[in-house]
Structure 1
Amino acid sequence: MLSKPHDRLAARFEAKLDAVGALIRARMESRHAPRIPEVTAHLVGAGGKRLRPMLTLAAADICGYRGENDEKLAATVEFIHTATLLHDDVVDESSQRRGRATANLLWDNKSSILVGDYLFSRSFQLMVETGNLRVLDILANASATIAEGEVLQLTAARDLATSEEIYLQVVRGKTAALFSAATEVGGVIAGAPDDQTAALYDYGDALGIAFQIADDLLDFQGDTAATGKNIGDDFRERKLTLPIIKAVAQADATERAFWRRTIEKGDQQDGDLDHAIALMQSHGALDSARVDALSWAAKAGVALEILPDHPVRDILADLAGYVVSRIN
């Protein structure tokens, strides 16, 4: 028996996910620029759970949809996600994703940016093919919100004045916007009532926030083999994630000087990561962030209650719990 909720979703939607995969492969082809499928295939081939497209299929299924436009929307969501990953790795100067070398390292930054732009364009073509203007509005707004969140992060990531409120705004942009759009469009394409599509939006929003906070925590406490990331990557990249923000808020003058040197100025030395983790632990910042993640996961579960009684609804509720179980 499959115990992980995303595995249960994958099993339930196996046929549709195969169709989504075929659609992705077909639309990432290019007659004139063979580098496009090369770069895209490298990232797609790295695996990943296809969580966001599964959310679209699941939301549509709960709301009784029977058709193929959910597959186009699922592929759209995956294209947007893949495009943002390509761009993010350039912005973050990353060298590893999902345990493999990033596209910008194997090719170059120009290729990653331009292929990401190509995938964004493909995603809009797929949206239009559904013939649903509201779907187009939701996903276009999500794309703009994602870009806005990334730009906000550029200015906030290394500023010790960044508050939890600003952090939440960044997360709602860079992560939760696509989760909430993925679930909301599933309801919209199914013709669900407004209160149900609003509930699907709320679920995706809360799930995305819980997911990101959990990722922030895993950066300091996770298993490299499981996450594909090295412990402390966010610290080395000088990202003010939630645990650090919480620790900075309680820092004395000496501790604040440490954070200013390592995060704002980028002067990091041997032993600084261990000291940073010790500071977060001494102020209960890691535990506090874990409580926040659990709270958002609970909000995601509550949002589902208005939806029709459905086995997939139960899986989505389990998924919210699983997202944060990784940090227990």
Structure 2
Amino acid sequence: MEWKGRRQSSNVEDQRGSGGVGNSPFGRGGGFRIPMGGPGRAGGGLSFGTIIFLIALYFIFRAMGIDLLQVLGDGGGQVNLPGFEQTDSASRANSPKQEETKQFMATVLAETEDTWNGIFQANGARYEEPKLVLFSNSINSACGFAQAATGPFYCPGDHKVYLDMSFFDELANRFGAAGDFAQAYVVAHEVGHHVQNLTGVLPKFNRARQSMSEADANQMSIRVELQADCYAGIWGKYTEQKGLLDAGDLEEALNAAVQIGDDTIQKRTQGYVVPESFNHGTSEQRQRWFKRGFDSGRVQDCDTFQAANP
């Protein structure tokens, strides 16, 4: 992608190295994230029995000469999610590679701003630009506490996209989705959730799923995610029209869509698939809806909720 020398967004908050403490991931408001092959959301508070167990465990370790509080304090109290290799991204926050990636993210965000400002204006509306928060290891958001292992996510509670840039190493090395346009697709997808929030799709979904069964909520979630993929494709179309795409860029995004499909991730992490647990869409669906937005460039062609078989 031809990005150097282009406008960079001022809506980037660099909180790398600041760390954070808080509640379980997405404890409030619900975040919309890139799936990582581990559990995306933690449950509620600890039960009384669990608290008693933890107290007993603490004194057992104290008897063995191990102070758990100090261990947790030194290590940030972080627990890796299955399928994600936790890295010390804070120690690499100011490396030349990370700084270049930061500049690239700011440029991609600026391009999404240009795209959606134009689309909203053409429809007589005003686009509220989201913030992109860069963090390392852990962060607090209006949707609760999250770690790098959560993956990139959009929080509708504060209209911000959260990203630990070490995710891109995981995307390239473990998921086989390298390339700058693959990275851009990730950001454009999360910005797509922001567009859904502004247009009322996310608030409606969050209200409806409170009374849905888990299976029905998963099916609705798939439609939400595929629409965000389609919106990312629309951004890709506008980027292509500006002459910013290099040979192979589209293929990078399409490959990324395949690699983070629910079926592909489950095959990679557990060796089998459980279709009823899908909540982001299969590789085929994700690729198809991104390509649909890219080919069309029209918002009306991204209505996954009206499609009989998305």
| TM-score normalised by structure 1 residue count | 0.28
Q: Which has the higher strand share?
A: 2
| TM-score normalised by structure 2 residue count | 0.29
